[in-house]
Structure 1
Amino acid sequence: MRNLDVCRNIYSRARSSNASVSLVAPRNALHFTFAAAKVSRDPAEVWSWSWWGNESHSPEDFDWMVDYLDFIYSDDHESAYDILLLLGSVGVCCRPAKQHLFIERLIACMDSNMPLHLRHAALRAAHSAREQIASMDAIDDSTLRDMILTKLSLAILSVLCPHPGTTPANDDPNLFFNYGRDLCYLRLVFALARNSDWHPHLFGDRHIDRCISMIPRYCNSRYYEHSFFVAGILLQITPEQTSVTSLDSVTEQQWWDVTRSAWWYPSHIDNTRYLKLLLVLVDGTKKYMQFASKSDLEQLIRDVDNFVE
């Protein structure tokens, strides 16, 4: 990606000059890169799933972004937003030596004292790095593993929660439910739930409670993608967590709502990582279909037929 190479070179020259005013140049270069790629910087569009082609990038290509983020995140929120938006758009693939710094700055940018659009961009960057975060058992650095499981897990959930004592207006993006933000979050937690090492932390940090709270909102025909990931999260962890009290709040009818609505999405699946979930979804459907109405069963047959075809 030519423009990213230009940004990296401009940033390297700016840092070597030791003049803080020169950081205007890399900031402008980033803005040009967004404009050339037709990627909006508008915070209202932070959840749009636009990707910049299928080019592959080496971890070294992103090291400078992590360094840049580290250098400016505390006092230049707009540039930090640009870097996180960039990482969330092209993917995160840092070298092991930079992973610790990246996670630290991600947590810092999710802090409740940060601007909301910066916190949202940080959540999207975490979503982009979800496979690395989910595979924390493969990380040799024990300090980094502990930070991911303790601080990052809580920081991720905090982005979804309105500030204490506030009453959001109807058009406030900090609403308890937000379509794009919640889908980003569910995709991230779904990836984490595929690793059983994450399960105690998903319960302990109340991610599962958050997912359960989404059932009435999203497990219906209007939000089939959300439904699929809610089902994927809950069905992947319940077999080994039967004693967890938070799941006691889910009624049998809600379990049926979760499983039946999840079938509206599989026809869109083209990723092998979801195949294991389909097996779990089949078992869950058989278990809870006794609570289905006749019309629900007829719709289920149509949905399964669409998937098989």
Structure 2
Amino acid sequence: MTTAGRPPVLDQLDRALQRALARDETSPARARQLRWVAGELRRALDTDGFPEQARDSLTDLFKAGPLTAYITLASRGDLRTRAAPGSPASTNASIRIRLDCLDILARAGTVPIEAPERPALPEPKTPVGPRQRSLLHGWLEAGADRPGADPGRVRLFALIGVVLDTGARAGELCALRTRDLTADLATVTIVRKPQARSIAPPVTEHHHLTAPTRIALRQWLTVRDDLIREVQGTANALWVSVRGNHAGILDAAGQAQLRPAGMPLMPRGLARAYTRTVVQVNADMLGQPGWEPLPYRLEQLRRAIDPHPEPETETAPPPTGKARKTAKTAP
């Protein structure tokens, strides 16, 4: 039932959002984006000069005039709830994300959509070349393959190995569980998630891991055993934090609570760990013959990889084992 004085479109938008969030294919990242766009639409409806008829129904809101007005406001940064450093204007990439979310909300609300034209994306940056990938891998190995090695470097040595063997994205890497490795660490199962506007179902792939990656994983799983002692009952993520970090919650004394080491690594944490390492390796390798500074984003490394998953057969893939427990004695 519509609240008196409340535009009818808001209840319809809320119902469409809830249906979109309830779908199995909606990832946590996409859910955040959908809530973000729905919040911007609500603020746009309160903006002076916004088409009045858009307040009547979701069908009216998703017509060309209101959506063009919404994208214009969003592009200028007029719908922000808090100030951000630099220009408030939105990038073409964020506008494309908004349009993706509008499509999803329209489908969830079973209404047609007259969306503005999608802005073009800039040309992708040059991927990391084979020599740079080899030097990065060697630098990581030299620092990880020794007693007392920094846990973060051991983790990244293994993680980069998996990226070089599979071309996995950050979100796909963070979704990995120890059960996704076979007991001998020879194969990893990656679930590819649909990207951008795609509504194709996730695809499960089995990738062979090279000998250096298996060695790196064996080292990491040994380190991981020590890190997860405090969270042993729930720790099944392959990649976990190597030190405590703020939980964003204050205790009774007003002090920030810390999450213990061994908690699942999230995409942002993974990206920060990669960037910190690249800063260090670029400084260490400065002046080396043929060295070109590595980019600070994992994506440029990932896009250099042309992965070849193992073909599906009528038999099941090799049975997975508790790799964390068997890694120490695996050949």
The TM-score with structure 1 as length reference comes to: 0.24
Query: Which structure dedicates a bigger proportion of its chain to helix?
Result: 1
Which is higher, the Rg of structure 1 or of structure 2? 2
Give the structure, 1 or 2, with the largest relative contact order (CA under 8 Å, sep 6 or more): 2
